Structure 1
Amino acid sequence: MNAEIPGWEAQHQFSKLGELELDNNQADKALTSFPDSILGQALNYHLSTYLEGKGIEQNIAFLVTGWVAWDTYKQIEQLLSYERENVLQSLSLTISAAQEIRKVQKYASIESYLIENISPTPKEPILIERWKVIGEDFTIPEIYVSLEAQLLDSNKLKENKAIVNLENWVKEQLNKPEKNRQVMFIQAGPGRGKSVFCKMFANWVREHLHPIWTPILIRLRDIDTFEPNIENTLRAAVRENFTNCDDWLSDRKTRYLFILDGFDELRFEGRTAKGIEDFLQQVGNYQAQTGCRHRFIVTGRESALHGIENRIPTNLNRLEIALMDDELQNQWLEKWSRLFGQDKAEEFQKFIEAVNCPVRVYELAREPLLLYLLAAMHRDNILTIEMFDDANDAQAKIIIYQETLDWVLTKQRPEKLNQELTEFDTEDLRLILTEAGLCITQSGKEWTSIKTIEERLKSEKSAREMLEKAKQNLGENPLRNALAAFYLRPAKATESTEGAVEFIHKSFGEFLCAQKITENLKKWVRLDSESRRDRFIIDDDKLSEEIYDLLSYGGLTPEIVEYLMALLDSEKQFNYLKLFERLEYFYQDWCRGKFINGSPNNLPLNQMQKFRTANILLDLRQVDIYAGLNVMILLLELYRYFHNNDEFRDKIIFYPCGKVGSNNFDNQLLLRIIGYSNSVTVGIFSETVGNFLLGASLEGVYLAGVHLAGASLDRANLSQANLKGAYLSEANLELANLKSANLSGANLSEASLAFADLEDANLQGANLSKASLVYADLKDANLQGVYLEDASISEANLLRANLEGANLQGANLQGANLSGASLEDANLQGANLEGAYLGRTSFDNEVYLEGANFKGANLTKVTLSGAYLEGANFTRANLEGACFLRFDLSEAKLDEAYLDEAYLEGINIKSIDLD
C-alpha cells in the first residue's frame, strides 16, 4: 500500500479506543466475534479514517480493516496466554464459543482454501502431488524461473514492443485502476509453463498481496457444469464455504484475483469451440461491468481459439509466453545445479550448446517442460546427440517423449520392481498407458475413470487375460497401482471424478493417444501372411468399426496429428499408399451416408452407446460427423506430407470433392459436408478441419456462403471455385491459387492473401478491410465496390484491375502496380501510394484522394480529371503527360514532382506547395 505509518501518529489516532467503556455483554462480544462488536467497529472506523488520510482508496481501506478486525482475535489469544489460570477458566466457555464462531466465518474458510489450494504446503495428498515435478522428489518452486512474454495485438505480436517479464507485467496490471475492465489473457503452446506460472503466481499473491487481492486458482478442466450465470459457475468450481453466501462476489470486504488455467481444456456438450467462446464472453462481460472489483487471468493454448478469434471479447489484454532466452535458461540451470550438482548442470549445458547438438534439440530446450525432460534424461545418462540425427521438431519431441517413457518404465524403476508393484511387465504397462491416453483424450475432460480404461482393455483377449492374471496375484484392482506409478495421478476428488486419473501434463496424454492411433494405423495396412491374396488382417467392416471406436470422440488436435505423422515417419517400410487408399474408401462411403444409415449394424449408434457407458455424451450425428472429419484430416495430412515426394506425388492426392473432370467429381460435396457438420453447431467444420486445409486441392468446388473463418487455406488450389458470400474472416490464404475464383460479397476481413494468385478473380462487393494482399496477383480482377479500408496491398499487381467504387481509405498501396486500373468513384482518402505505378490509370469522375500519399509514384499519362486531391503528397512523383482537368490540388505538395506535358486546365492550386 506504500503508506508509512509513524508510531506516534498511529498511537494518537487509536488512543481514543482506550476511552471506550464496555459492559460484560459487550466484552464477551469482543471476544467471541470481534469484527461485529462495538470495539471492533470502533477499530474499523479509526483505522479506515487513518488509512484514507494517508491516501489509501476507500474501498481498499475498507477491505483491509475487515481483515485486520478478523485477525485481531489472534492478538487477543496471545494476551490471554499471559492471564492467570483462574481467569482463563472463567472465560473458557467464551473462548470455545469464539473458536467455533471463527470456524464458520468467511475469513476462516478463505484462509483454509489458501493453505490447501494455493500454498505449496497443503495437507491433502492429491494436492501435495501437484506441487511435485514429474517423477521427482523436489517441488516446482525449487526449479521454477520467472518467464517472459510478448504482448499481442489481435493475436499478432505487437510491433516494436519489448519482451516483458510475465510476473512483473501481471503485477503492474493489478496496480493500474484504468486496466480494471481488462481480462489478462495469457496464451502459449504445450509445455511452455502456463500452469506452473498460475500456481507460482497465485502463491506469490497469497504471500504478498492478500487480502488486497485474494487468489482463486481454478483449473478449468475441473469444472463439471457451466451455468448461464458466471457467479454460479465459479462457485461450483471453488467448492468452498465462503462461496455459499449470495454476496460472496459483492462483499466489499473481499476482492478476488481469479486465475482460470487452461481454457483449451474446457469441454462442453458437443465438443465445439462455441462453449469456449461463450465462456470467454461471460468472463469478458463480467470484467467489463461497472464497479467490478475482481480481476481475471485466463491461460491456455492459442490453438483452442481457432475459428473464433473475431468473436472473443474485445477487453482481453493478450500476451504470449516467449521461449526461454539464454539468461532464463542459465537461471534454470543454476537451480538444477543446486539440486544435482554443478558438474551435472555444466555437462548438460555443454550438451545443448555443443556444435554437433541438433538445432531442433537446442530449440526445444527453450521450452520449460522439454528442458526438464532433457536435463533429467541427461542426468541419468540416457541422452545422446546421435538420437536426434535428421529429426525435425515433431520427431525430436517424439524421441524425447519415447525416451522419457522408457526412462520411467525401466530406468527410474527396475523392471523387476515394476512387476512387484503392478504385476505387469514393461510392454503391458505401455499398452495400459496408451489406452489411458486415448481414454483421457476421448473423455474431453482431461481425466478418465479407471473403470473406463479397464473396459477398453477387456475388449482385447490378450489384455483381458493380462488383467485377470494380475488381479489374481494382487487381490485388488491392478490398474490402480499401475496408473498411480507412471505419468498419472488421481484427479481432484469430487463425486464425478472418484476413481479417476489424469496425466501429470496434458502433452503426455496427447502423445500416448497418438501412439494408440498409430498402432491401429499400422494394423490397418498389415497383410495376412497366410492368405494367398493381398488380404488385410483387418477387413473393411472391422476397419470402419475401429475408425468409429478411435476417431469419433471429437476433432483431432494439431498436436496429436503432429505426433501421429512423426510416429508414422519413424516406421520403416510403412505402406502409406495402402493407408491412404483404405481411408479414402471409408471417406467415400461416409460421404454417401453408408454408416449413419446402416442397418441392422449401425456403427455410429453402436459407438454412441459405448460412449454413453463411459459418460461421453455425444449424440448420433456428432459421432458420425467426427469420425468422417477426422478421417478427412488424416487424408489431408497424408496428401500434404507427400505433395513434394517424387515417389508418391502422383499417387497420394486427396480431392475432397473428387477430381475435376472425372466421373466422381461433385463440386457441391464439400458444401454438403460443411452443412452436415454445422447442423450440430455453426462453425464446427472450420473448428475441426480448418487447421488442416493447407494446400488442399479444391479446384472448381462450390462453397458459396460457407463458414470458414480462420481456416488455414494457404497454398490451397481454389481456382475457379465459387466462394460467393463466403465467411473467410481471418482465414490464411497466402500463396493460394484463386485464379478466376468467385469471391463476390465474401467476408475476407483481416484475411491473409499475401502472394495469392487472384488473376481474373471476381471480388465485387467483398469485404477486405484490414486484409493482407501483399505481393498478391490481382491482374484483371474485379474489385468493383470492394471494401479495402486499412488493407495492406503493397507490391500487389493490380494491372487493369477494376476498382470502381472501391473503398481504399487508409489502404497501403506502396509499390503496387495500378497501371491501367479503373478507380472511378473510388475512395483513396489517406491511402499510401508511395512508389506505386499508376501509368494510364483512370481516375475519372469524383475520385476522393484527400491526404493520399503519392510520394515517388509513377503517374505518367494518368487521367485525374475531376478528382479531389486536397493535401495530397506528390513529392518526387512522375506526372509526365498527366491530365489534371477540373482538379482540386489545394494544399497539395508537388515539390520535385515531374510535370512535363502535364495538362493542368481548371485546377485549384490554392496554397499548393510547388517548391
Structure 2
Amino acid sequence: MVRAKVVSHPFSYKVKKQANPVNLESWAKQQLTNPGQHDQVMFIQGGPGRGKSVFCRMFADWVRQHLHPIWTPILIRLRDIHAFEENIENTLSASVQADFAKKDGWLTDPNTRFLFLLDGFDELRMQGRTTGGIEDFLKKVGYYQENCQRNPQLGHRFLVTGRELALQGIVTPRNLERVQIALMDKTLQQQWFSNWGNLVGQDKATGFKKFLQAQHCPERVKELAQEPLLLYLLAAMHRDGKLTDQMFEGTSSINAKILIYQTALDWVLTKQRPEDLNFELTEQQTDDLRRILTEAGLCVTQAGGEWASMTMIEERLKGDDGARELLEKAQKRIGENPLRNALAAFYLRPASGSVVKEGAVEFVHKSFGEFLCALRLKESLEEWTEPRKKGRGFTINHDQLAEEIYDLLGYGRLTPEIVDYLMALLDTSDDFRPVELFERLEDFYLCWCNGEFIDILDETTLPQKTGQKLRKHGVELGQRQVDIAAGLNTMILLLELNRYAEKKNELKDKIDFHPCGKPDTEGFDRQRLLRMISYSNSVEFDNFLITIRRFLRQADLSGANLSWAYLSGADLSGADVSWAYLSWANLSGADLSGADLRSADLSWADLSGADLRSAHLPSADLSGADLRSAGLREANLSGADLREANLRSADLHEANLENIFWDEDTKWANVRGLETAINVPEALKNYLTSS
C-alpha cells in the first residue's frame, strides 16, 4: 500500500499545506470510477525513489485485470515520446505502438474508454524542455480531459506522474487533482518488513526492524528509511552485515544518502557481479569497473537523463586503459562485447524508448544514475586542480581545462540532485582544493562571457567539437546550445562553491563569486549577467531561468543591471541584490525571503506572489511595482517608495513601514496584517480608515 496527500484540488489555485494521508490506490480507483470527477486530470507527484513508476505499472495491471473492458489502461513513459504534435490526439497515436492506434477514430469509439497513464512528467523529451513547452503540453492534456467529459464518444481519463520540481514556475491546468506520495509510516514499513521476511527470512527482517527501532539508531537513518528505494538498500546492507549505527553518526541527510549509495555500489561491485565478470578481481580492477559505471552515469545524464547509447559509453572508455583491459578479459570468457552484459547487473537495463539502433541502457532508478554522474564529475574537478610535480601550475593546462569543461558540462543542465551529491562528495575528499578550483572555473567563466570559445574563426571551436561528438550518439545539440550549457553549468558550480565558502571561515575571503564582478573594482561589469541571460535565452526563451533559478540563493548580485529580466519563480532567498537595477523585471512567484534589496530599483517590477519575508528593502524604489499577494511579513520597508504600487492582498504582518512614500494611486485593497505592522505612518492610517 502506498499513501499520498492531496496537494491541491481542481479549479483551486491554493496548495494545501497540511492534509490527511489517503491510500493512493483507493484514491486512484475512486477518481477513475466516480463519473463526477471525469473532467479531472490525476497528477501524482513525488521525489526520486518514491515509487511513482512502480505504482503506474501496478495500477495499470489492476485496471487490466478488474476493469477491462470498461477501462483499457495504456501506460506511456513520457521519456519515450520523441515528437509532440500540435494535436494531442496525434501525439497519443504516435506514442501507442499498436495497430489499433493507427486506425482513424480509435479515440472516438463510444464502446472503448482508455486510461492513459503518462509516467515521468519531469522526463519529457521536448526540445530543450522549456517551461513554456511543458506547460503547453500539460494544458493540452487538461483541455482534452475536459473534452472527454463533455463528449460521450471520448470519455477517456489521464493519470500523470512526475517529480514535484517539474511544476515549479508552471501555471497548471485548473482541472488538475494533485496528490503527493507520502513517506512510509510505521504501518507501511511493517507491511514491507513482512514482505522482506518472505524473501530473506523472518529472522533477518526482524533484526533489521529492531535496528531501525533501536534508540541508538541515528534519526537520519530512520528518516531515510521512509523512502522505498533507500529502505531496500538499507535492508540489503543490513542483511550482508554492512550496516552499523556508527556509520551515520554526525552525517547530514545528503551525506547519509551518499553513504548508502556508496555502500550499495561497493556491494554490487563485489557481491553482485554478473557471470561475465565473475573472476577474481584485483582492487585496481574493481576501481576500473567503478569507472565504467560512473561513465555510464555521466553518459545517461548528458543524453537527457533517461538513456545513453552503448557506443557513447564505449567511446568515453577508450581513453581508460584499465577499463578497456577489464572488458577485454571478460570478452575472452564470453566471446562477445561484454559491456552490455556487465552493465545489466548494475541497476541498468535496456532502454525501450531509445531510438538508437545499436542499443542503449537506462538506470532502473534515476537517482542512482545521478549519484554515479556526480562521482564522475568529482573525479574531474579534483584532477583540474592537481598541481604539477615540478614547477608551478597544474597538470591540466588552461586549454585542456576548457576542453574538459565542454566535454563534461556542455550538455543540458546540472540538476539540484547531482549538485547536492557532488558538493557533499567533494566536502569529504582529501583531494578537494576549493580555492584553486574556484579560481580556475572563474577564469573559464569570464572567458566564456567574452565569447572566447565560440568566436574563433580559424579553427574548429570547442562547442562545435563537443556538439559533433554528442550528435553521433543521438544527442542533438548545436554549438550555441553546447556553449551556453557549458557556461551556465560552470556558473552553477561557482555559485555552489561560493555558498560552500560562506560556511567556512578560512574560505570566506578567498572565494567570492560575483557574476558581474565585484562592485567598485576594475573587473565590475553591471551588464554582464544581463547579456548572459539574453544569450542563454537565444536558444530557448526561458533557458537561463530553467537552468539557474534553483541555484541563485545567497548569490551576490549587488549593483547588477537586471532590468526587464525574466526571473519568475527564481530562488533568490538570502541573495544580495542591493543597489541592483530590476525595473520592469518579472519576479513573480520568486523567493526573495531574507534577500538584501537595499536601494534596489524595483520600479514597475512584477513581484506578484513573491516571497519577501524578512527581506531588507530600506530606500528601495518600488514605485509602480506589482506586489499583489506578495508575502512581506517582517520585511523592512523603511524609506521605500511605494507610489503607484499595487499591494492588493499583500501580507504586511510585522513589516516595518517607517517613512515610506505612497500616494493616492497606491493600492491597499485587502492588504493583510497592517494592524501588526511597525511604524505605519499616521497619514496612511487615516487614509485607510476614511476610504
**More divergent stretch after superposition (808-817 vs 439-448):** 808-817
1:727 corresponding residue in structure 2: 586
Q: Which residue of 2 aligns with 1:707?
A: 566
Q: Which runs of 5+ in 2 are unaligned?
A: none
How far apart are residue 732 of structure 1 and its match? Answer: 0.5
Deviation per residue, 1:30-70 (Å, 9 max, x gap): xxxxxxxxxxxxxxxxxxxxxxxxxxxxxxxxxxxxxxxxx
Inter-partner Cα distance in structure 1 for 2:651 and 2:500: 31
Deviation of the 1:356 alpha carbon = 2.1
Q: How big is the shift at 1:346?
A: 1.8
Three-state SS of the structure 2 residue aligned to 1:362 is: helix
Quote how far apart the aligned CAs of 1:353 are.
Answer: 2.1
Deviation digits for residues 453-512 of structure 1, max 9, x if unmatched?
Answer: 111111445444554554455431121221122211112177545521111111111111
Aligned counterpart in structure 2 of residue 841 of structure 1, from 669, 677, 683? 683
CA contact (8 A) 1:267 1:275 kept: no
Q: Is the 8 A contact 1:148 1:324 kept in 2?
A: no
Q: How does 1:218-233 map to 2 (within 5 A)?
A: 218-233=76-91
Deviation for aligned residue 1:157: 4.7
The answer to whether the Cα contact below 8 Å between 1:418 and 1:425 also exists between their aligned partners in 2 is: no
Partner SS state of residue 440, structure 2 = helix
2:449 counterpart residue number: 591
* Larger displacement relative to structure 2 (180-189 or 470-479): 470-479
- Unaligned ranges ≥5, structure 1: 1-144, 822-839, 850-863, 869-915
**1:246 Cα deviation after fit:** 1.2
Partner of 2:524: 665
State the TM-score, normalizing by the size of structure 1. 0.72
Is the 1:409–1:418 contact (alpha carbons within 8 Å) kept by the matching residues of 2? Answer: no
**Match of residue 718 from structure 1:** 577
Secondary structure class of the residue paired with 1:287: helix
Query: 3-state SS of the aligned residue for 2:7?
Result: strand
Confirm whether residue 390 of structure 1 aligns to residue 246 of structure 2: no
Aligned amino acid, residue 628 of structure 1: G
Counterpart mapping for 1:149-164 below 5 A: 149-152=5-8, 157-159=15-17, 161-164=19-22
Cα distance in 2 for partners of 1:723, 1:200 equals 50
Alpha-carbon distance in 2 for matches of 1:698, 1:464: 47
String of CA shifts for 1:279-319, please: whole Å, max 9, x gaps: 2122122112232511111111122233x32x332322222
Output the TM-score relative to the length of structure 2: 0.94
Q: Identify the residue that residue 646 of structure 1 maps to in structure 2.
A: 505
Corresponding residue of 2:644: 785
Structure 1 window deviating more from structure 2 (441-450 vs 715-724): it is: 441-450
How far the C-alpha of 1:419 sits from its partner, in A, is: 3.5
**Contact 2:650–2:671, Cα closer than 8 Å, also in 1:** yes
For residues 389-437 of structure 1, what are the alpha-carbon distances to aligned partners after superposition, in whole Å with 9 as ceiling and x for unaligned?
2211111111111111111111234999533899x94222211111111
- In structure 2, the partner of 1:148 is 4
The residue number in structure 1 matching 2:166 is: 304
1:150 Cα offset (Å): 3.7
Letter of the structure 2 residue corresponding to residue 696 of structure 1: A
Distance (Å, rounded) in 2 between the aligned partners of 1:222 and 1:419 = 37
Provide the rounded CA distance (Å) in 1 between the counterparts of 2:220 and 2:13: 25
Distance (whole Å) between structure 2 residues aligned to residue 669 and residue 315 of structure 1: 42
Name the structure 2 match of 1:817. Answer: 677
Q: 1:497 to 1:156 in 2, by over 3 A?
A: farther
**Which residue in 1 is equivalent to 2:394?**
536
Please state if 1:295 is matched with 2:157.
Answer: yes
Q: Could you tell me which of 95, 104, 109 is aligned with 1:251?
A: 109
1:815, distance to aligned residue in structure 2 (A): 4.2
Given residue 412 of structure 1, which amino acid in structure 2 is its aligned partner? Q
Q: What does residue range 353-502 of structure 1 map to in structure 2 within 5 Å?
A: 353-413=213-273, 418-419=278-279, 425-444=285-304, 446-468=306-328, 470-472=330-332, 474-492=334-352, 496=356, 498-502=358-362
Shift of 1:703: 0.3
For 2:418 and 2:246, the matched residues in 1 are separated by 25
Return the index of the structure with the highest Cα Rg. 1
For residues 835-887 of structure 1, the C-alpha deviation after alignment (integer angstroms, 9 at most, x for no partner) is: xxxxx23456xx5x5xxxxxxxxxxxxxx5xx24xxxxxxxxxxxxxxxxxxx
- Could you tell me how far apart the structure 1 residues matched to 2:272 and 2:467 are? 40
3-state secondary structure, aligned to 2:127? coil
* AA of the residue aligned to 1:629: L
Out of 601, 609, 621, the residue aligned to residue 762 of structure 1 is 621
Identity %, equivalent residues? 55
Q: Flag the 1:590–1:241 CA change in 2: closer, same or farther, 3 A.
A: same
Name the structure 2 match of 1:329. 189
The one of the two structures with greater contact order (alpha-carbon pairs below 8 A, sep at least 6) is: 2
Give yes or no for contact 1:216–1:257 (8 Å, CA) kept in 2.
Answer: yes
Check 1:398–1:649 CA distance in 2 against 1; reply closer, same or farther (3 A cut): same
Inter-partner Cα distance in structure 1 for 2:408 and 2:234: 31
How many residue pairs get aligned? The number is 682
AA at the equivalent of 2:136: D
One-letter amino acid of the counterpart of residue 341, structure 2: N
Tell me how far 1:814 sits from its aligned partner: 4.8
Following the alignment from structure 2 to structure 1, what is the Cα–Cα distance between the partners of residues 559 and 626?
Answer: 22
Residue matched to 1:893: none
Q: Report which stretch shifted further, 701-710 or 199-208.
A: 199-208
Alignment of 1:538-687 (within 5 A): 538-572=396-430, 574-598=432-456, 599-687=458-546
Shift of 1:820: 4.9
Cα distance in 2, alignment partners of residues 417 and 453 from structure 1: 18
**Deviation string, structure 1 residues 346-381 (Cα, Å, up to 9, x no partner):** 211121222222221111100111011111111121
Query: Is residue 189 from structure 1 mapped to residue 31 from structure 2 by the alignment?
Result: no
SS of the residue aligned with 1:318? strand
Equivalents in 2 of 1:687, 1:494: separation in Å?
25
User: Secondary structure in 1 aligned to 2:484?
Assistant: helix
Aligned mate of 2:137, from 262, 279, 301: 279
Q: Which moved more, 1:510-519 or 1:376-385?
A: 376-385
Alignment partner, residue 113 of structure 1: none
Separation of aligned partners in 1, 2:496 and 2:553: 9
Query: Relative to 1, partners in 2 of residues 1:820 and 1:443: Cα closer, same or farther, differing over 3 Å?
Result: closer
Q: What CA deviation, in whole Å up to 9, does each residue of 1:106-144 have, x standing for no partner?
A: xxxxxxxxxxxxxxxxxxxxxxxxxxxxxxxxxxxxxxx
Deviation at 1:575, TM superposition (A): 0.9
**Residues 165-199 of structure 1: CA distance to partner in whole angstroms, max 9, x if unpaired?**
22222222223333222211111110111111111
Letter matched to residue 323 of structure 1: L
Aligned partner letter, 1:654: F
Q: Deviations over 1:730-774 (max 9, x none)?
A: 110000001111111111111101010111111111111122111
1:266 equivalent in structure 2? 124
1:75-154 equivalence runs, <5 A: 145-152=1-8
SS of structure 1 residue aligned to 2:128: coil
SS at match of 1:185: strand
Amino acid at match of 1:770: S
Answer whether contact 1:743 1:763 (CA < 8 A) is retained.
yes
Whole-angstrom CA distance in 2 between matches of 1:481 and 1:456: 18
Give me the whole-angstrom Cα distance separating, in 2, the residues matched to 1:415 and 1:207. Answer: 37
Match of 1:117 in 2: none
**Equivalent of 2:557 in 677, 692, 698:** 698
In the aligned structure 2, how far is the partner of 1:414 from the partner of 1:168? 40
Take 2:662 and 2:555, find their aligned partners in 1: how far apart are those partners? 30
CA-based RMSD of the aligned residues comes to 2.2
Q: What CA distance in whole angstroms lies between the structure 1 residues aligned with 2:334 and 2:254?
A: 39
Pair 1:465–1:155, CA change in 2 (3 A)? farther
Structure 1 residues 272 and 472 mapped into 2: Cα distance closer, same or farther (>3 Å)?
farther
* CA 1:271–1:618: 2 relative to 1, 3 Å: farther
Aligned AA (1:567): L
Separation in structure 2 between the aligned mates of residue 571 and residue 387 of structure 1, nearest angstrom: 17
CA shift, 1:278, in A, is: 2.6
Does 2:205 align with 1:349? no
